[in-house]
Structure 1
C-alpha cells in the first residue's frame, strides 16, 4: 500500500511540536507514504488563498498521486481544494480539527466522490451522516500517552490555595492569541491571584507574549517556555490544563495537550466550541466554558481548586489506550484498503 499525504499546513518550525504533523508522520512511516505540504510558505502566519493551495506543487502532486494507491488529504476543516478534481486515485479526507457550527454543510458531488471522510468525534460524524453520506468514518487521534498515564498516581490535589495551570497549544499566528484563548487566559490569570500558569510557546511570538504578561503585571505567576519541552516532566508539578479556543477550527478536536493532561489524571478547562468538551461534560473530568473570557476562566480554575477531588477522580473515565498510535494505524489501514479496493472496482 502506497499513500500520498497532502497536508494544508507547512511542517512545524520546531520538529515534534505539531500534533497533526506527528500523526501524519506516524501514518506515513507505516505505509511507505510520501508527504507534500500544500502551503507554499514555511511560516503559516503568511496568508495564502485556500483555493490556490497545492497549485505551486501541482506537477509533483499529480506525479506522486499517479504512483500511489490512495491520496490522503489532511485539513482542519472540510474544504474542496480545486486541484483535487485532477486526482484520479481514491481520496481519503481527514478533518483534523472540527467542522464547527458555522460551517454550512450540504451534500455535494465532491463529498460523494471521496472514498472516505474521516472525523475524530461524534459531533462531526453526526452532521455528515445527517447529509446522507455513507462514506463517513470516525478515527481517534493517535498519541503515545503511556508516560503520562504513569503520572496518575503521583499527582497532588490543589490545597484550596493556588492552582497551577498549563497551556500548551501555542499560537502560530497573531490572530490565534484570540482564537486559541491565550489573551483571555492571561487576563484570567490577572483577574485572580490564586492562578499560576505555565505557558508553552513553539518558537514564535515569545517577545509578544512576554510583553502582554508585563502589561498585565503577572510575570511572577506566569512561566513562559519556548521550543520542544518534556510535557510529562512539566505535568508532575501542574494541576490542570486549559484550552479556551473560541473557534473549533484552530486546534484538533481532541487536542494533544488535553489528552496528555487527562491521561496524567489532571482535569481540564475547555471551551464548549471544541468537541472534546462533550466528553469533559459527560464525565465530569473538568469544566466546560460556555463563554471564553477572563472571568469565566478564573472562575473555572478556582472551582477546581476549591473542590478538586471530584474532577481528579473523574479523569479515570478517560481510556488513554483508545488513543494509541497503534489503534489509529489499524483504523487507517482498514480505510486505505477499502479505498484502494473501491478505486480498482
Structure 2
C-alpha cells in the first residue's frame, strides 16, 4: 500500500513541526509515500484563489499517482479543490479543523470527489450524516504520547500557559487568540506565556510583546524545541480560536499537554472542547478575550487538585493504536473498492 499525501500549508524549513506533517509521518509507516504541498506559494497569505490550488501541479500529480494506491488530502475545511478532479486514484480527505453550518455546501460538493471524508469529532461525524454524506468516517486524532513525561511545578510557581497553533497570517493573531493572551498577561502581572512559533511572523509577534511591555514574561520559542521540556515549565496548555476551522480539531499541543500531565484550556468552538469538558481534562473558554482567559486561569488555580497528572496522561495514552488501525482500515477499504 502506497499513498500520495497532500497538505495545504506552505513548505518551510520548520514544516515538519506542524501537526499535520506529524500525522503524515505517522501514516507513512503504514502507507509510504511522498508529500505534495498543495499550497501555491512558499509564503503564507497567498492571493491565489483556492479554486486554482493544485492546477499547475497536474502533470506532476499524474506522474506521481502512477506509483500509489490512493491520495490522502489534509485541509482545515472540506473545500472541494477542483484539481482533485484530475486525479485517477481514489481520494481520502481529512478535514483537519471542525465543521459548522457554513461548511455544508462545500462538504456536499467534496463528497462527489472523495471516497472517504475523515473528521475528528462525533459532532462533526453526525453533521456529515445530517447533510446526507454517507462516506464520513470518525477517526479520533492521536500523538505519540510515549515522548512525554510529567514534571510538576513548584507550589509557588507563577501561572504559565503554553500556547501552540501559531498564526500563519496577521489576521490570525486575533482569530487564534494570540492578542487576547497577550492582553491577559498585561492585565495580570504574574501570568507567564510560552508560545511555540514556526518562523512565520516572528517580528510581528515580538512587536506585540514589546508594545505591551511583556518581554520578561512572554517567551516565544521560534526554533525547534523539545516540547516535553517546554511543558515542564507550564501549568497548562492553551489553544484558542474564534472559528472551528482556524485550528486543528484536536490541536497537537493540547494532546501533548495532556501527555505531559498538564490540563488544557480550549475554546468552546474547537471540537476537542466537548471531550475536555466531558472527561474533566481542563477548562473550556467561552470567548476569545482577555477577561475569559483570566477567569479560566483563576479557576484552574483554585481547582488544580481536580486535574491529576496520571488521569490526564491516561486520556491520551492509547489513542495512537486506534488512530493507526482506523487508517489501515480506511486505506484498505478505499483501495479495495477501487479495484
TM-score bucket of the superposed structures, by smaller chain: over 0.9
Cα 1:158/1:295, change in 2 over 3 Å: farther
Give the match for residue 325 of structure 2: 330
The DSSP-based 3-state class of the residue aligned with 2:216 is: helix
Superposed displacement of residue 235, structure 1? 1.3
Superposed displacement of residue 187, structure 1? 0.4
**Which of 291, 294, 310 is 1:298 aligned to?**
294
Please give the residue correspondences for 1:187-202 in structure 2 after superposition, counting only pairs within 5 Å: 187-202=183-198
Q: Does 1:58 align with 2:54?
A: no
Give the match for residue 174 of structure 2: 178
**95-104 or 197-206, larger mean C-alpha shift:** 95-104
The DSSP-based 3-state class of the residue aligned with 2:199 is: coil
Tell me how far apart the structure 2 counterparts of residues 172 and 82 of structure 1 sit (CA, whole Å): 24
Q: Give the alignment's TM-score, normalised by structure 2.
A: 0.93
CA RMSD, aligned part only? Answer: 2.1
Tell me how far apart the structure 1 counterparts of residues 93 and 42 of structure 2 sit (CA, whole Å): 23
2:161·2:193 contact (CA, 8 Å) conserved in 1? yes
1:285·1:314 contact (CA, 8 Å) conserved in 2? no
Superposed displacement of residue 181, structure 1? 0.7
Tell me how far apart the structure 2 counterparts of residues 239 and 330 of structure 1 sit (CA, whole Å): 33
1:112·1:133 contact (CA, 8 Å) conserved in 2? no
Unaligned runs of 5+ in 2: none
Tell me how far apart the structure 1 counterparts of residues 105 and 46 of structure 2 sit (CA, whole Å): 28
Q: Does 1:33 align with 2:33?
A: yes
Superposed displacement of residue 261, structure 1? 0.7
Tell me how far apart the structure 1 counterparts of residues 237 and 216 of structure 2 sit (CA, whole Å): 19
> How many residue pairs get matched?
339
**Which of 196, 208, 211 is 2:207 aligned to?**
211
Tell me how far apart the structure 2 counterparts of residues 298 and 107 of structure 1 sit (CA, whole Å): 37
The DSSP-based 3-state class of the residue aligned with 1:266 is: coil
The DSSP-based 3-state class of the residue aligned with 2:266 is: strand
Superposed displacement of residue 34, structure 1? 2.3
Superposed displacement of residue 245, structure 1? 1.3
Tell me how far apart the structure 2 counterparts of residues 340 and 67 of structure 1 sit (CA, whole Å): 13
Unaligned runs of 5+ in 1: none
Give the match for residue 133 of structure 1: 133
Q: Does 1:155 align with 2:155?
A: no
Superposed displacement of residue 299, structure 1? 1.3
Q: Does 1:100 align with 2:95?
A: no
Q: Give the alignment's TM-score, normalised by structure 1.
A: 0.91
2:5·2:73 contact (CA, 8 Å) conserved in 1? yes
The DSSP-based 3-state class of the residue aligned with 2:318 is: helix
1:194·1:302 contact (CA, 8 Å) conserved in 2? no
Q: Does 1:231 align with 2:227?
A: yes
Report 1 or 2 for greater relative contact order, CA contacts < 8 Å, sequence distance ≥ 6.
1
Superposed displacement of residue 100, structure 1? 3.3
Q: Does 1:68 align with 2:80?
A: no
Cα 1:108/1:259, change in 2 over 3 Å: closer
Cα 1:308/1:109, change in 2 over 3 Å: closer
**Which of 320, 324, 343 is 2:338 aligned to?**
343
Task: Please list the CA deviations of residues 196-216 of structure 1 after superposition, one character each: whole Å capped at 9, or x if unmatched.
Answer: 111221112222222211211
